[in-house]
Structures are given as C-alpha cells and as structure tokens.
Structure 1
C-alpha cells in the first residue's frame, strides 16, 4: 500500500527557477526512506511542499491515495501527515509534559492521551527525568527528542523529519534514529528522513533517495547506496 506519493512535482519560490523539478517519489506503508543530497539539493523544500507550507507549481501529492493539493497544512496533519522541521521546534515556555500533552491534544481522549504520553516517556527516558523542566532549559538533544515525541503522539501515518541529527552528539543521534526504526517496525509508521549525516541515515533506512538540483538521481536500497563510491563522491560528499 502506498502511504505517500508525489508525481511530477515542481516547486519554486516566486518567479525563480524551480527548486524541485518534475520529482516523482513513492513510499509504502512502514517504509523508512532516507532523503539525501548536498545543501541546496531541495530536501527541505520537498518536505515543506508535501506538508503544504510551500505551494506547488504542478504535479500531485497523495497521502494514502488521496490527493492533497487543495488541503491546508492543518488539514494534511489531520489526515495523518506530520513534519518535524529543522531547529528542534518546541514551545520553550512550556514544560516537557505540557509540550507532550499539547502534541496529543486532538488525537486522544484524556485517558488515552495520558497513556500515550507515558509511552513517549518510556521511549525517551531522558524526557521522563525532566518532565517538569521548561523547554528553554533542555539540551539540544533533549529538545530534538521532545520534538520527535510530540510528533509521534499525534499518531501520524507518515512522519517527515528535516535534519534531526543536526548539531547532536553521535550517541543522541543513534538513540533518536533507533526510536524511529522501532516505531516504524512496530506501528507501520512511514518515515521520510532528510539528512546530511548519510551514514546515520542509511543505518536506519531500508532505502535511500538522492536529490541533486531538485531531481532524483538515485533511488536504491541503503546498502547499495552506501557501497557505491562514485555516487557517494559525486552527490553525498564522502
């Protein structure tokens, strides 16, 4: 079953050249796909276009087979699409617990929401120890955990992540990506992970899609991408 798809998608800003140019991509239910490419390849623009934050010029975006073109970002979220943007977006004035309860506000009744919050604390033990701490006192790793936990609380069908490992220690990155892989295997969550840390991304993804100048230049299994030195040197910088 196709969870998320875009067909011949073209996206740009103003009257400038397209950032995404005729891109086609499909993700099946439970897929964990790494979206790779150098700075300026179009990774962030693609994620923002999928969620409706950037208007598309042409093409189709489908979630579970349903066209999203006329839906607002909020409506796409209610249909089961979630985005964790770059920058560890949490409400810094609220506590960890308040941030999490806010994340599950519209998808859970009160008792179910409490149980879902406790489930996140079990997945992210550092958050459990800091549940009463204000967001502005958290470390970078703790903020990224909180942003991810809040997104998972909404029970999305498809989760988009933009550079979740940026600025984090390798140990924290490994923990975050391990939770993603576990959630996908356990719940059938579909994940599209935009990452510059290619090694970490390919360690949890079954498949990698490489972008260059807004177009797909490779779509292969993670082991195949990691083992192709020409592709790695040309597009991934290692």
Structure 2
C-alpha cells in the first residue's frame, strides 16, 4: 500500500446476491482529503460505501485502510481502526434523545469520548440534547447523524447523501463543516452526494460512477470545467 493513501481500493466487485453492481472499482483517499463520488441515480454510489464498510460482501478485489485488510472485518474493528459510516437516511434512533444517540457513537471507544467537542461543532444539538430524535428537524437529524459518527473520532468518514431533503442553507452549512473538519483535523471524507455543485465546492477530487463502474477521476476543478462530462454524467 502506498504510504500516502489512507484508503486504497483495487478491483472491487460487489453487489447483492449473485448479481454484482460494482465492477472493478479502484480508488484512493489520502489523509485530509475529500473525495466526492458522483453520478446519476442507480450509479451504485451508496453500494460502494456499503461495500467499504462491510455491509455487503466484497466478491473480488481488495480494500485496505492504513495497511489493514478491511474485508470480513467486524464493525467494531472498523470503528477502532478509525472508520465511520453515515448512511443515506441518517439512521437516527428516533426514540432516543440527542445525547443518547451521540453516546451510541462512542460505544466501541474506551474510555467513552466526551461529547463536548460535538456540541461545540453543533450548538443546535447542545440546545436540543434532551429532545428525542423524532422531535428534530431534517437538518438537525443530519447534524446528529454526523455528530454521532464523529464521536468515534474517525480518520475516515464515509458520508452518504448528507444534503438529501435539506434546504440549501442547511446543505451549505454541512458542506462548510466538512471542509472545516478537513482543514483543522485532517479528517478524510469519501462523500457520496447527489448535489454535485455542493460536493465539488469542497472536494479535492471527484470520482464519477456510471452503472457501477468508474468512468473518470479528476480534481474537482477539472470536473466542474468539463462541459461534456458534466452534461453526460452529472446533469448540469
């Protein structure tokens, strides 16, 4: 593994049952880098994150994180290595309070991490810490899902559609937070995002998926300026 890469994926093939939907996917993420995974609906972007986090089996290829083989690793082992996954739909436990949800993020860390840094990042969550998940707005739930992942003190955040269903202002706030975390802490992010403009505004690199295959990878500025590529695969 290249020592400059935190995550290194080579020839990944994965899917559901006997039908693979990811085909020969290779990518890298360096420490402190935001890599946006882009593409139309059905491009298998979310499937990629599920395969990386062990939610679906890898049929072929290799997935390595900081030199460790991630295939067939248990979730708690991945968390301890420094990987956190925020799935599409946010995954907040609506019957639990904000504080209880956040504490779930630190279950595999000993001793239990302090929640103070999360409340500093998300003052709104501090205000709502006694509220249950079902009492939160969509934006607050997304903040809670990201905050819960950050409690585990990851080095790599797998983030799936954070802007889904959110107002543009809230989306901009979340994107600004990700950029700030990268700049201040060196957090690496593999970001699946349907809002292409928002994703490319903070990303260092962009990967374009189509029907489960990578069709191109470039720095974010190149993707924004490539009219033919944008019209063919990104819809703007």
How far 1:108 moved relative to its partner? 4.8
In 1, the alpha carbon distance for the partners of 2:140 and 2:146 equals: 10
Task: State the number of aligned residues.
Answer: 233
In 2, the alpha carbon distance for the partners of 1:165 and 1:215 equals: 24
Where does residue 58 of structure 1 map in the other structure? 60
Where does residue 28 of structure 1 map in the other structure? 30
In 2, the alpha carbon distance for the partners of 1:11 and 1:106 equals: 27
How far 1:74 moved relative to its partner? 3.0
Q: Equivalent of 1:86, from 85, 88, 94?
A: 88
Structure 2, unpaired ranges of 5+: none
In 2, the alpha carbon distance for the partners of 1:108 and 1:14 equals: 36
Query: C-alpha deviations, 1:142-191, integer Å up to 9, x for none?
Result: 00000000101100111001101000001111111111111111111110
Query: C-alpha deviations, 1:61-99, integer Å up to 9, x for none?
Result: 000121112312332222211100011111111111121
The question of 1:217 aligning with 2:219 is answered no
In 1, the alpha carbon distance for the partners of 2:111 and 2:58 equals: 35
Alpha-carbon RMSD across the aligned residues, in angstroms, is 1.2
Question: Equivalent residue of 1:60, what SS?
Answer: strand
Where does residue 173 of structure 1 map in the other structure? 171
Question: Equivalent residue of 1:52, what SS?
Answer: coil
In 2, the alpha carbon distance for the partners of 1:101 and 1:108 equals: 12
Question: Equivalent residue of 2:165, what SS?
Answer: coil
Query: Any conservation in 2 of the 1:88–1:140 contact (CA below 8 Å)?
Result: no
| Cα distance, 1:227–1:183 mapped onto 2, change above 3 Å | same
Question: Equivalent residue of 1:87, what SS?
Answer: coil
Where does residue 136 of structure 1 map in the other structure? 134
Written as runs of structure 1 = structure 2, the 5 A alignment for 1:101-116 is 101-109=103-111, 113-114=113-114
Q: Equivalent of 1:187, from 179, 185, 188?
A: 185
Q: Equivalent of 1:49, from 24, 48, 51?
A: 51
In 2, the alpha carbon distance for the partners of 1:139 and 1:5 equals: 36
Tell which deviates more after alignment, 160-169 or 4-13: 4-13
Query: C-alpha deviations, 1:111-142, integer Å up to 9, x for none?
Result: xx33xx11111111211211111111000100
TM-score (normalised: structure 2) = 0.95
Question: Equivalent residue of 1:224, what SS?
Answer: helix
Question: Equivalent residue of 1:12, what SS?
Answer: strand
In 2, the alpha carbon distance for the partners of 1:201 and 1:151 equals: 19
In 1, the alpha carbon distance for the partners of 2:108 and 2:85 equals: 16
Where does residue 236 of structure 1 map in the other structure? 234
